[in-house]
Amino acid sequence: MSHTAEWKVRLYLFEEERTTRARVVLETGTTSLTGHGTAHCNPGDTDVPEIGDELAAGRALQDLARQLVGTAERDIGAVDASAGRPEPAPATGWPL
């Protein structure tokens, strides 16, 4: 089976008072998922915005990945249930 799809991902970064927040939005055409991530700069550390961006974006992408895998697992369960798969036969004993 051949299949081609294009999904769009948008990443938004916001920084305020040494805290960077990231929001990543995945649009599949039929579904939209949003991941969130945050990074805080320690008051004693040098403020390097790029590091906050990287951490917050990475955490938002991890959140999105967890959601996407969870959605796939639920879809697999729904397909298995609708397929009416029979229960496995008992390993020992007489069938009931």
pTM for the predicted model, two decimal places: 0.79
User: Could you tell me if residue 91 is inside a domain?
Assistant: no
* DSSP β-bridge partners for residue 21: 14, 38
Q: Is residue 40 a contact partner of residue 48, using CB atoms and an 8 Å limit?
A: no
| Residuewise pLDDT in 10s, the chain (96 residues) | 899 999 999 999 999 999 999 999 999 999 999 999 999 999 999 989 999 999 999 999 999 999 999 999 999 998 877 776 666 666 666 655
Residue 60: give the domain boundaries.
8-75
Q: Which pLDDT belongs to residue 41?
A: 93
User: How many alpha carbons fall within 13 Å on the CB side of residue 47?
Assistant: 7
Domain containing residue 51: CATH number: 3.30.160.240
